[in-house]
């Protein structure tokens, strides 16, 4: 019988949560429970689904199933870091504080704890979110000691409110098994500060052009990072501007205010001079949005951060001015589409941005080479991105790699000969031909079998750029093409789609128009044009 195994109840693909059952000899450890439905966890009335549970951090895709798990198995011990324990209740916002059961026990940072005879647990900060932890499990078997590291979500770089994973503290652990997230695959991203500056500059231009900005985010992490960026960036410091926060994102801000002693020293120093959140004295003003204030929202340019599942029609209406919707990118997956049937008359554009919360490809490989495991299990990311990581020669030649799907059991033999499983092909050989004024590049048709092809070939247009000695091709989406030149407000007197009352969600909704139902450019025109700026409409 193999001493180490990992069963993925949820491998973290797409919207699926992460939930892993690790067996180390006689011990069964459940790592995270981000399942919406815990019925897939097998257990009888006389047995528990695991000996205990450890939650890496409080994001919903890692923690939302914990309450149901506790209610079904009240005797099942659940552990996490101190900060994660305080943030977990935000996953169940419908419960009042008195209704929230205190079921999670805490572990200190970097202190080995013998949780069962011969089984030790140690938590290390992993960046990404306050309280997020990487978990080291060690089992002293009769013949040797086995070890396993689970990173949860990790980020090597510092962000506004969280210091990055301290690589020096875990360097050289040489675990037998490393379970690591691969959210960004092999892609390489600019430095975090550069991404922040790009986003701040885009918001600055939009506000200067008379637009309001809507930023839907999750309750924890990105929303609070955005607020700290907007309050401290030189584009906005001292600016006469309102930043509104609504829904469970505001609840997340309240929870952060209880955690000040756990934040980096720079954040604690900032909080000594002005409030971290909810400040109406210092510009830009940071305010919680109340239902009574929604009617005035957007009449002057403002910024609103709201829950990512919120109904956009609560904020964007035909009387609320012009808005731009900025959505966070989720690398490896198509951009989330907004509901066009809402006919949001004030929506003038939908764009995406990247503010990295996970380590990119080089950061992931850096962590792996510092830990030097025997087995690596890649989870949490699109299957194609995880396959890209598993296809890297620098990893395939050194480690034993696994990319399990949900429901798959991975056996982890230690010290035995291992045959690397065949991975999907990710490199394609083609030909190029110079034809006078242009160049043609041909690729084999099996490239279209990759699920990413539909997004790449959406419009049939590509953008090429040099990256060192390599030429990189990128597919252009309809949104990018339609959005070209739409950053600035159109002149009110111009008869074009952007000023037409039938133009909503980048489509024409006039049944009298030959363009009805089609995507159109804001500077387009048709004979049934009706101005959104007409006197009667303004009086309504």
Gap between the Cα atoms of 251 and 92, Å rounded: 11
Per-residue pLDDT of the chain (540 residues; tens, 9 = 90+): 689 999 999 999 988 899 999 999 999 999 999 999 998 887 655 689 999 999 999 999 999 999 999 999 999 999 999 999 999 999 999 998 888 889 999 999 999 999 999 999 999 999 999 999 999 999 999 999 999 999 999 999 999 999 999 999 999 899 999 999 999 999 999 999 999 999 999 999 999 999 999 999 999 999 999 999 999 999 999 999 999 999 999 999 999 999 999 999 999 999 999 999 999 999 999 999 999 999 889 889 999 999 998 888 888 887 788 889 999 998 888 766 665 544 455 777 888 899 999 999 999 999 999 999 999 999 999 999 999 999 999 999 999 999 999 999 999 999 865 555 555 666 777 778 777 667 878 787 777 777 777 777 777 777 787 756 677 787 876 655 555 444 445 677 788 888 888 887 677 878 788 777 777 778 788 888 888 776 334 344
Gap between the Cα atoms of 430 and 441, Å rounded: 7
Instruction: Give pTM, 2 decimals.
Output: 0.82
Q: Which of 339, 341, 388, 394 minimizes the C-alpha distance to 365?
A: 394
3-state DSSP helix/strand/coil % of the chain, to nearest 5: 25, 25, 50
3-state secondary structure of 303: strand
Gap between the Cα atoms of 61 and 66, Å rounded: 11
Q: Which of 75, 56, 55, 81 minimizes the C-alpha distance to 66?
A: 55
CB atoms inside a 10 Å sphere around CB 221: 25
Peptide bond into 284 cis (omega under 30): yes
Length of the chain equals 540
Whose tokens are 């990710």? That residue is 426
Gap between the Cα atoms of 490 and 498, Å rounded: 7
Distance of CA 529 to the CA centre of its chain: 40
Q: What pairs with residue 473 in β-bridges?
A: 464
Q: Which two tokens stand for residue 527?
A: 């004979």
CB atoms inside a 10 Å sphere around CB 8: 24
Gap between the Cα atoms of 19 and 28, Å rounded: 13
Gap between the Cα atoms of 325 and 127, Å rounded: 28
| Contacts of 106 by beta carbon, 8 Å cutoff, 6+ apart | 79, 80, 81, 82, 85
Q: List alpha helices for 177-232, DSSP H.
A: 192-208, 222-232
Distance of CA 435 to the CA centre of its chain: 43
Residue 375 contacts residue 412 (beta carbons within 8 Å):
yes
Sign of CA dihedral 286, 289, 293, 299: positive
pLDDT of residue 531: 85
Q: Which of 373, 380, 425, 374 minimizes the C-alpha distance to 404?
A: 380
Q: Which two tokens stand for residue 214?
A: 């809507």
pLDDT of residue 525: 80
Provide the strand spans (E) within 32-102.
Answer: 52-54, 78-81
DSSP secondary structure letter of residue 367: H
Residue 184 contacts residue 330 (beta carbons within 8 Å):
no
Q: How would DSSP label each residue in 462-481?
A: EEEEEETTEEEEEEPPHHHH
Residue 30 contacts residue 50 (beta carbons within 8 Å):
yes
Angle at 217 between CA 67 and CA 154, to 5 degrees: 70
Q: How would DSSP label each residue in 87-128?
A: HGGGG-TTS-GGG----EEEE-BT--EEEETTEEEEEEE-SS
Gap between the Cα atoms of 140 and 144, Å rounded: 6
Gap between the Cα atoms of 281 and 11, Å rounded: 46
């Amino acid at each position: 019988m193999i001493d180490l195994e990992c069963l993925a109840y949820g491998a973290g693909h797409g919207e699926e949560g992460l939930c892993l059952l690790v067996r180390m000899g006689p011990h069964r450890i459940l790592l995270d429970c981000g399942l919406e439905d815990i019925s897939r966890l097998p257990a009888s009335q006389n047995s528990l689904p695991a000996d205990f549970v450890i939650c890496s951090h409080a994001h919903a895709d890692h923690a939302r199933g914990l309450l149901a798990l506790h209610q079904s198995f009240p005797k099942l011990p659940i552990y996490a870091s101190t900060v994660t324990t305080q943030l977990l209740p935000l996953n169940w916002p419908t419960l009042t504080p008195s209704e929230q059961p205190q079921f999670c026990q805490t572990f200190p940072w970097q202190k080995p704890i013998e949780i069962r005879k011969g089984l030790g647990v140690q938590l290390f900060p992993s960046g990404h979110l306050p309280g997020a932890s990487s978990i080291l499990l060690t089992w002293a078997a009769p013949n040797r000691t086995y070890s396993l590291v689970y990173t949860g979500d990790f980020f090597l770089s510092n962000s506004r409110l969280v210091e990055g994973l301290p690589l020096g503290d875990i360097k050289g652990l040489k675990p037998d098994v490393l379970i690591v997230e691969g959210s960004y695959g092999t892609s390489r991203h600019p430095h975090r500060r550069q991404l922040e500056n790009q986003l701040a500059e885009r918001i600055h231009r939009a506000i200067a052009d008379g637009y309001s900005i809507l930023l839907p985010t999750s309750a924890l992490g990105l929303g609070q990072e955005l607020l700290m960026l907007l309050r401290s960036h030189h584009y906005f410091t001292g600016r006469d501007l309102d930043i509104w926060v609504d829904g469970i994102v505001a609840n997340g801000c309240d929870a952060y205010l209880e955690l000040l002693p756990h934040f980096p020293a720079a954040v604690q120093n900032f909080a000594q001079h002005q409030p971290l959140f909810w400040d109406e004295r210092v510009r830009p003003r940071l305010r919680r949005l109340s239902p009574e204030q929604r009617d005035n929202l957007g009449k002057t340019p403002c910024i609103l951060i709201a829950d990512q599942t919120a109904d956009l029609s609560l904020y964007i209406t035909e009387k609320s001015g012009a808005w731009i919707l900025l959505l966070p990118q989720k690398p490896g997956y198509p951009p989330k589409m907004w509901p066009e049937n809402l006919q949001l008359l004030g929506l003038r554009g939908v764009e995406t941005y990247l503010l990295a919360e996970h380590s990119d490809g080089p950061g992931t490989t850096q962590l792996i080479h510092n830990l030097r495991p025997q087995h690596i299990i890649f989870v949490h990311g699109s299957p194609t991105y995880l396959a890209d990581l598993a296809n890297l020669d620098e990893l395939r030649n050194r480690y034993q790699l696994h990319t399990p799907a949900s429901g798959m059991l991975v056996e982890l033999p230690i010290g035995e000969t291992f045959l690397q499983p065949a991975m999907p092909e990710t490199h394609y050989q083609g030909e190029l031909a110079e034809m006078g004024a242009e160049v043609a590049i041909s690729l084999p048709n099996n490239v279209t079998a990759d699920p990413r092809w539909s997004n790449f070939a959406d419009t049939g247009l590509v953008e090429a750029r040099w990256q060192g000695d390599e030429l990189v091709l990128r597919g252009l989406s309809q949104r990018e093409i339609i959005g070209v030149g739409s950053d600035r407000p159109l002149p009110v007197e111009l008869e074009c789609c952007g000023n037409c009352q039938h133009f909503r969600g980048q489509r024409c909704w006039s049944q009298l128009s030959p363009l009805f139902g089609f995507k159109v450019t804001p500077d387009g025109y048709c004979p049934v044009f009706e101005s959104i700026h007409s006197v009667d409409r303004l009086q309504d």
